[in-house]
Structures are given as C-alpha cells and as structure tokens.
C-alpha cells in the first residue's frame, strides 16, 4: 500500500505565531483506488490546500489508500493510532470503510471525522463526527421535491451495504408521511458490473420515480441500466452521486435526472443570502484553480470543511493539553461538541454531545442535470 505523506501548502487563516508545543498529526484514510476512487481522489486533491499550521501548531497529514475495502480501512486506522500516534483520523469517503474504522478510533479515544454519512449503533459514535449531511436531512429535501413533482410511487435501486440500507430507512417513513409508497425494492453490490435483472423488475413495476442509491462513478451504471430497460419516469440520485463522474459517465442517460446535494458544488448558483455562499465560492474557486475548471466535487468539499472545523476546535482543545496527548484528543472531541453554530461550505453545522450529524433540514439542495451540468431546481 502506497503511503502519501504530505505537508500541505496553504493556510486558510493567519493564526497564532507562538512556538509549537508539538506537531498535530492527522491520519487520513481515503479510497484512492477501487470503486470509491472517484470520491477519495478529489478529497486528496483538496488536502493539498489544507492548512500547514493551526493555532500555531504544525500540521502533518498522513494519507493512506484504503482501496475501497473495509478491512484495509480498519488496518489503516489501527496503524494511525498505534504507529503514527495521530491526534485525529479523517475518513473514509465510503460508508462501509468508515464504519469499519470507527471501533478502532473509539477504542483509542481518538476523534474520527467521517467523510461519508455512516450509521453506527446508538452510542457508538462518541468519537465519530460526520462531515457529510445525514441521509435523513437529504431525504427530507428529496421528498419535498417529489411532492412538487406529484410523485406517488417510488422504486428503490440501491447498494446492499450500509449506505443503501440507511437511505431506504430514511426515505420510507418520510415518503409514507407525504402520501407516497415505495412499491419496489432492488439491491446490488458495489462491485457489480450489471444490474439488468433489477432494472427489469423496476421498469416492470413502473413507479412514478426511481431512487438510485450509489456513489461517485458507480452511480451511473444502475442509472443507465434503468433507462436502457425503457423506464420513462423520474430518476433521483443521492448526495454521494453529486460528482462530475455521474454526468461524465452517464452522458445523455442522466439528462433531466434529479440529485440532492450540499450547497458546495453549486456555489455560484446560491442566493447571496445563503449562509454558505461565501465559503462555497471560496472552496470551488481555489479547488478549480488547482485542478482545473469543472472539477469541483462534493467530497473535496468535505476536506475543505474539515479544516474549518479544526481551525475552530484546535484552539479550544489546546487548553486541555498539547498535541500527542490523550488530554488533547479528548479536548478535540469536547471542542467539536461545543463549538456551536459553524458555517461550512456544505451548510450550517452545529454538532452537540447528543448529535454528531449536526446539519438541519434546510441543508439539502435539489439539482437537475441540464446539458451535462448541475442546475439548482
């Protein structure tokens, strides 16, 4: 496994010039290969713009590839806490991988900033905070849009893993409350290269809308399969699909589809009154200056927001102890739980001791694919 060790180049704010007590070491596990690479690579790119110091302390990033594999993600987390003695873990961008890392971070009493909307048993997220929006929050925005589209019946085509099941669990009660019904449910594995049987069943059921629950480049294949089977209804995608890969790979088949997203990827289209507009514009401007026009990515935005959270939390945590100590790690958790209302590029965050998701129902933005681009609905 190739290790990419980097001290990233640009600080996002002028911070205290006091001498560092100790380096802040951050372990980052991303899917740089495998099915999740379309999510992990943009996050890695944004980390090139991560602050080199926070509150006067030098920041070291240790980036490992988890190859989209939960076992490797857990192994990376184990290395971070036993060998690298990190103060914080970020990752992974895939829900199953992030979930596999959580017990390791919890055992080591080290904060994990998950870059995917991972669900764990009640009480198991004491050291894990989510950077992406929760499925309940995003499903709320989607169902509200479906109501305006007069959707009454819904088909579900999603991953067999935690991400798929959590979305089904989030969508079903909200849809039922809105007078809609999930009439067909089909699943597939992330590694599947075809979903023809599932697509045929859904097309035969002919619901008013189909929700595809997949991520990155993997979201295009099931979408195209449904279209190729002759489905003419509305197709929705989740926030894990709000990436250029969906329209690049999906082509004409994804035209007219709806995608729920955080505000970061459509920064310029946000009204001036939106609290995230200034930061979202800053994110996409600097990211596309680095990577090129049209490369903005929802998951890269999570890397950007991680820096915002730490710039607010680290000064508070330093009051508890210096980096490299259990006191500092505990102080980070306490600081994240008590830092209050914080504007991210992806919305407004307010983590608390009882809520490590943090976003509100106003967060989700509905997009439509028009001429190969995302447009705010």
CATH number for the domain that contains residue 155? 3.40.50.2300
pLDDT of residue 64: 98
* Residue that is last in its domain, among 213, 232, 261: 261
Residue 229 lies in a domain: yes
Residues 152, 112 share a domain: no
In the prediction, which pLDDT does 2 show? Answer: 45
Please, what's the b/e burial string for 171-190 (b: 16 or more CB within 10 A of its CB; e: otherwise)?
Answer: bbebbeeeebebebbbbbeb
pTM of the model: 0.79
Helices (H), the chain: 37-46, 70-82, 95-107, 135-148, 162-177, 196-205, 220-228, 244-250, 277-291, 298-317, 326-338
Q: Which of 234, 261, 288 is the last residue of a domain?
A: 261
pLDDT category of residue 39 using cuts at 50, 70 and 90: very high
Residue 129 and residue 26 in one domain: yes
Q: Is 328 within a domain?
A: yes
Q: Are residues 72 and 157 in the same domain?
A: no
Does a structural domain hold residue 247?
Answer: yes
What's the rounded Cα separation, in Å, for the pair 238 and 212? 7
Residues 125 and 139 in one domain: no
> What gap in Å lies between CA 133 and CA 206, rounded to an integer?
30
Residues 141, 36 share a domain? no
pLDDT of residue 298: 87
| Range from 5-9, 30-34, 261-265, 275-279 carrying the lowest mean pLDDT | 5-9
What is the residue range of 195's domain? 135-261
Say if residue 205 is in the same domain as residue 150.
Answer: yes
Q: Reply yes or no on whether the pLDDT at 1 is more than 70.
A: no
Q: What is the DSSP string of 184-240?
A: EEEEE-TT-S--HHHHHHHHHH--SEEEEE--GGGGHHHHHHHHHTT--SEEEE-GG
Decide: 85 and 326 in contact? Cβ < 8 Å.
no
pLDDT in tens, 259-301: 999 899 899 999 888 889 999 999 999 999 999 998 999 899 9
Q: Does a structural domain hold residue 270?
A: no
Residue predicted with more confidence, 336 or 363: 336
Has residue 366 been placed in a domain? Answer: no
Confidence of residue 114 (pLDDT cuts 50, 70, 90): very high
Q: Quick check: is 361 in a domain?
A: no
Contacts of 82 (CB under 8 A, 6+ apart): none
pLDDT of 20 reads: 39
Beta-bridge partners for 154: 182, 209
- 273 within a domain of the structure (yes/no): no
Residue 16 has pLDDT above 60, yes or no: no
298/234 same-domain check:
no
Please give the tally of structural domains in the chain.
2
Same domain? For 15 and 67 the reply is yes
Q: What's the chain's average pLDDT?
A: 92
Question: What are the DSSP calls for 249-284, one per residue?
Answer: HHGGGGTT-EEEE-GGGGGGGS-TT-TTHHHHHHHH
What is the band of 11 on the pLDDT scale with cuts at 50, 70, 90? very low
Shared domain for 232 and 156, answered yes or no, is yes
Residue 327 token pair: 């006191």
Give CA–CA dist 106/249, Å, rounded: 38
Q: Indicate if 102 and 170 belong to the same structural domain.
A: no
- In this structure, the answer to whether residues 11 and 45 fall within a common structural domain is yes
**Does residue 160 form part of some domain?**
yes
Same domain, 12 and 86: yes
pLDDT digits (tens, 9 = 90+) for 300-354: 999 999 999 999 999 999 999 999 999 999 999 999 999 999 999 999 999 999 9
Question: From edge to edge, which strands make up the β-sheet containing 258-261?
Answer: 181-188, 153-159, 209-213, 234-237, 258-261, 365-370, 373-376
């Amino acid at each position: 496994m190739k290790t990419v060790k980097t001290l990233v180049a640009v600080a996002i704010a002028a911070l205290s010039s006091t001498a560092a007590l100790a380096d802040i070491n951050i372990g980052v596990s991303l899917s740089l290969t495998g099915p999740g690479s379309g999510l992990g690579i943009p996050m890695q790119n944004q980390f090139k713009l991560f602050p080199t110091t926070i509150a006067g302390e030098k920041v070291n990033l240790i980036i490992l590839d988890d190859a989209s594999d939960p076992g490797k993600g857990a192994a990376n987390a184990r290395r971070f806490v036993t060998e690298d003695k990190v103060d914080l873990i970020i990752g992974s961008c895939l829900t199953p991988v992030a979930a596999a890392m959580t017990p390791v971070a919890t055992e080591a009493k080290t904060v994990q900033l998950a870059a995917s909307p991972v669900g764990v048993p009640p009480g198991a997220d004491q050291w894990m905070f989510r950077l992406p929006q929760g499925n309940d929050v995003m499903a709320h925005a989607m169902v509200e849009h479906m109501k305006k589209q007069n959707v009454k019946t819904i088909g579900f085509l999603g991953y067999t893993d935690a991400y798929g099941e959590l979305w089904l669990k989030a969508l079903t009660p909200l849809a039922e409350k809105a007078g809609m019904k999930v009439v067909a449910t089909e699943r597939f594995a992330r590694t599947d290269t075809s979903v023809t049987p599932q697509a045929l069943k859904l097309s035969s059921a002919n619901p008013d809308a189909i929700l595809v629950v997949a991520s990155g480049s993997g979201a295009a294949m099931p979408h195209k399969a449904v279209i190729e089977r002759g489905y003419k209804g509305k197709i929705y995608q989740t926030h894990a699909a709000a990436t250029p890969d969906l329209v690049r790979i999906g082509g004409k088949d994804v035209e007219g589809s709806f995608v729920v997203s955080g505000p970061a990827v459509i920064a310029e289209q946000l009204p001036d009154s939106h609290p995230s507009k200034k930061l979202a514009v800053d994110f996409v401007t600097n990211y596309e200056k680095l990577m090129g026009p049209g490369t903005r990515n929802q998951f890269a935005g999570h890397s950007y927001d991680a820096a915002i959270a730490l710039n607010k939390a680290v000064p508070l945590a330093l009051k508890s102890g210096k980096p490299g100590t259990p006191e500092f790690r505990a102080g980070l958790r306490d600081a994240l739980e008590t830092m209050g209302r914080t504007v991210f590029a992806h919305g407004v965050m307010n983590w608390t001791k009882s809520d490590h998701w943090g976003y509100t129902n106003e967060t989700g933005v509905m997009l439509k694919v028009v001429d190969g681009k995302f447009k705010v609905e």
